[in-house]
Amino acid sequence: MDKAVKHITHWINGKPWTGQAQRQGDVYDPATGQVTGSVDFAGAGEVDAAVAAAAQALPSWRRVSLARRSQLLFAFRELVRQHAGELAKLITAEHGKVPADAAGEVARGVEVVEFACGVPHLLKGGFSENVSTGVDSYSIRQPVGVVAGITPFNFPAMVPMWMFPLAIACGNTFVLKPSEKDPSASLLLAQLWAEAGLPDGVFNVLHGDKDAVDGLLTHPDVAAISFVGSTPIARHVYETGTGNGKRVQALGGAKNHMVVLPDADLDRAADAAVSAGFGSAGERCMAISALVAVDPIGDDLVARIRERVGALRVGPGSDERSEMGPLVTRPHRERVASYLDSGVAQGATLAVDGRVHPVIGGSSDGFWLGPSVLDHVTPAMSCYADEIFGPVLSVLRVPSYEAAVRLVNSSPYGNGVAIFTCDGGAARRFVSEAEIGMVGVNVPIPVPMAYYSFGGWKASLFGDTHVHGTEGVHFYTRGKVVTSRWLDPSHGGVNLGFPVNS
**Whole-prediction pTM:** 0.95
pLDDT given at position 494: 64
Whether residues 239 and 263 share a domain: the answer is no
pLDDT in tens, 282-337: 999 999 999 999 999 999 999 999 999 999 999 999 999 999 999 999 999 999 99
* Predicted confidence (pLDDT) per residue in 61-111, tens digit: 999 999 999 999 999 999 999 999 999 999 999 999 999 999 999 999 999
CATH code of the domain covering residue 204: 3.40.605.10
What's the whole-number mean pLDDT along residues 339-360? 98
Q: What is the CATH number of the domain that holds 374?
A: 3.40.309.10
Specify if 453 maps to a domain.
no
Per-residue confidence band for 244, with pLDDT thresholds at 50, 70 and 90: very high
Peptide bond preceding 296: is omega within 30 degrees of 0, i.e. cis? yes
- Say if residue 232 is in the same domain as residue 281: no
Is 170 in the active site? no
Tell me the pLDDT of the chain averaged across its residues.
Answer: 96
Residue 413 lies in a domain: yes
Same domain, 328 and 379: yes
Residues 44 and 79 in one domain: yes
Based on the structure, what is the number of domains in the chain? 2
Which residues partner with 461 through β-bridges?
251
pLDDT(343) > 80: yes
Residue 198: DSSP 8-state: P
Confidence of residue 362 (pLDDT cuts 50, 70, 90): confident
Q: Are residues 16 and 105 located together in one domain of the fold? A: yes
Q: Are residues 159 and 24 in the same domain?
A: yes
End-to-end CA distance of the chain: 79
CB 224 within 8 A of CB 145: yes
Q: What is the pLDDT of residue 317?
A: 94
Distance CA 426, CA 412 (A): 24
Strand arrangement of the beta sheet that strand 34-41 belongs to:
6-8, 34-41, 23-29
Q: Is residue 320 part of a domain?
A: yes
Q: Which pLDDT belongs to residue 13?
A: 98
Convert the pLDDT of each residue in 364-385 to its tens digit: 999 999 999 999 999 999 999 9
3-state helix, strand, coil in the chain (%, to 5): 40, 25, 35
Which residue type occupies 434? Answer: A
Q: What is the full DSSP assignment across 238-296?
A: HHHHHHTT-EEEEE----EEEEE-TTS-HHHHHHHHHHHHHGGGG--TT-EEEEEEETT
pLDDT band at 231 (very low <50, low <70, confident <90, very high): very high
pLDDT band at 57 (very low <50, low <70, confident <90, very high): very high
- Do residues 221 and 301 share a domain? no
Query: Do 281 and 139 reside in the same domain of the chain?
Result: no
Range 392-409 average pLDDT? 98
What are 480-499's pLDDT values in tens digits? 999 999 987 666 566 666 77
**Is the same domain home to 153 and 273?**
no
Domain contains 425: yes
Catalytic entry in 117, 170, 285, 383 = 285
What 428-431 contacts at long range (C-beta under 8 Å, 24+ apart), as own/partner pairs, is: 430/259, 430/401, 430/405
Asked, for residue 50, whether it belongs to a domain, the answer is: yes
Task: Yes or no: say if 251 and 228 are a contact pair by the CB < 8 Å rule.
Answer: yes
Instruction: Please state, as a whole number, how many other Cβ atoms lie within 10 Å of the Cβ of residue 315.
Output: 22
Q: Taking residues 121-129, report their average pLDDT.
A: 96
- Is 362 within a domain? yes
Nearest of 233, 277, 232 to residue 256 by alpha carbon = 277
Q: Hey, is 50 helix, strand or coil?
A: helix
DSSP-derived secondary structure letter, 245: T
Residue 223 gets which letter from DSSP? -
Q: For 350-375, b where at least 16 C-beta lie within 10 A, e where not — what string?
A: ebbbbeebebeebeeebbbbbbbbbb
According to the model, what pLDDT value does residue 496 have?
67
Half-sphere exposure at residue 73, Cβ-oriented, CA atoms within 13 angstroms: 27
Q: Same domain for 177 and 269?
A: no
Domain containing 381 equals 256-441
Q: What is the DSSP letter of 35?
A: E
Q: Is the pLDDT of residue 187 over 70?
A: yes
Segment among 259-263, 359-363, 478-482 with least mean pLDDT: 359-363
Query: How many angstroms separate the CA atoms of 365 and 335, rounded?
Result: 16
Is the pLDDT assigned to residue 4 strictly greater than 90?
A: no
In a domain, 37, yes or no: yes
Do 57 and 150 belong to one domain?
yes
- On the question of pLDDT at 455 being above 70, the answer is yes
Answer yes or no: is 237 within a domain.
yes
* DSSP states along 394-456: EEEEESSHHHHHHHHHHSSEESEEEEE-S-HHHHHHHHHH---SEEEES-SS-PPPTTS-B--
Report strand pairing: 11-12 vs 127-132: unpaired
Task: In whole angstroms, give the CA distance from residue 413 to residue 254.
Answer: 5
Nearest to 169 by CA among 493, 466, 487, 476: 476
Give the percent of the chain with pLDDT over 90. 95
| pLDDT for 196 beyond 50 | yes
Distance CA 493, CA 480 (A): 29
Q: What pLDDT sits at residue 1?
A: 42
Residues 55 and 108 in one domain: yes
